[in-house]
Amino acid sequence: MHISLSCLSKPILHGYFRSSCSWRVRIAFALKGIEFDQVPVNLIKDGGQQLTDQYKQLNPMQQVPAVHIDGIILSQSLAVIQYLEETRPGPRLLPADPVKRAQVRMVSDIIASGIQPLQNLCVLQKIGAEKAQWAQHFIQRGFEALEPILKETAGKYCIGDEISMADICLVPQVYNADRFKVDVDQFPTIKRLNQTLMELDAFKVSHPSCQPDTPADMRA
């Protein structure tokens, strides 16, 4: 059987330790048991390494992550996760049941499209002095929508009792909520799910506090 050499090499994740989108990909790699290499892209140093012409060739949006895998380069964390789901064995990240699969995508999109981009670094840099209040407002607003949805769909995890892409999206967003001092106690379902997920090794090893580019004063 012919096997492409590109499929035998480790994927390379170009990311930033505190980027929630990079963290999503790290979680997915960990859940699937995929070894990968990391190339740090510091979003702050030198005015933002993601803004260089060299990095723009990897990701024209000049955001993280960019993932080199199977001889191609993918950006956008949900696209990467779904590619892994379609090409790699291991725990399923999208349920077989079409209703649950749609619910996973719904929750993932609420976070990845409706919450996270509004508190992304490039947005906050434009907001200026009011950036903390801005981020708090949109995370609060998003969680107020997400809480009743998860109350209906959750079992042990976001959608029933299987870990899914929705869980991969939730944990980094709760981390951001804590960063911007949103009171997560208001959202008992979100809080419970996050606590449960953070007991799992895949979420621990991928945490921003233990990455190669984590600053020394932020290491666990």
User: In terms of C-beta distances under 8 Å and separation of at least 24 residues, what long-range contacts does 199-207 make, across chains too?
Assistant: 200/163, 201/30, 202/27, 202/30, 202/31, 203/27, 203/30, 203/171, 205/26, 205/30, 206/23, 206/26, 206/27, 206/29, 206/30, 207/23
Last residue of a domain, one of 74, 91, 108: 91
Residues 67 and 54: their CA atoms lie apart, in Å, by 15
What digits encode the pLDDT tens for the residues 175-198?
A: 999 999 999 999 999 999 999 999
Residue type, 163: I
Question: 150: which DSSP letter?
Answer: H
In a shared domain, residues 106 and 153 = yes
In a domain, 144, yes or no: yes
In a shared domain, residues 108 and 87 = no
Mean pLDDT score of the chain: 94
Last residue of a domain, one of 91, 119, 152: 91
Backbone phi, then psi, for 97, in 5-degree steps? Answer: -70, 130
In a shared domain, residues 74 and 130 = no
What is the total count of domains within the chain?
Answer: 2
| pLDDT at residue number 7 | 56
Residues 194 and 146: their CA atoms lie apart, in Å, by 13
| pLDDT at residue number 85 | 98
* Coil vs helix vs strand at 98: helix
Q: What is the mean pLDDT of residues 128-146?
A: 96
Q: What is the mean pLDDT of residues 17-23?
A: 97
Residues 148 and 170: their CA atoms lie apart, in Å, by 14
Domain that holds residue 63: 12-91
> What would you report as the CA-atom Rg of the chain, rounded to the nearest whole angstrom?
17
* Residues 171 and 196 sit within 8 Å (Cβ to Cβ): no
Strand pairing report for 66-69 and 37-40: unpaired
| pLDDT at residue number 2 | 37
pLDDT band (50, 70, 90) for residue 8 = low
pLDDT at 213 over 50: yes
Comparing 31-45, 120-134, 174-188, which segment has the lowest mean pLDDT?
120-134
In a shared domain, residues 115 and 196 = yes
| pTM: predicted TM-score of the whole model, two decimal places | 0.94
In a shared domain, residues 103 and 40 = no
pLDDT at 135 over 80: yes
What digits encode the pLDDT tens for the residues 44-102?
A: 998 899 999 999 999 999 999 999 999 999 999 999 999 999 999 989 999 999 999 99
| pLDDT at residue number 220 | 81
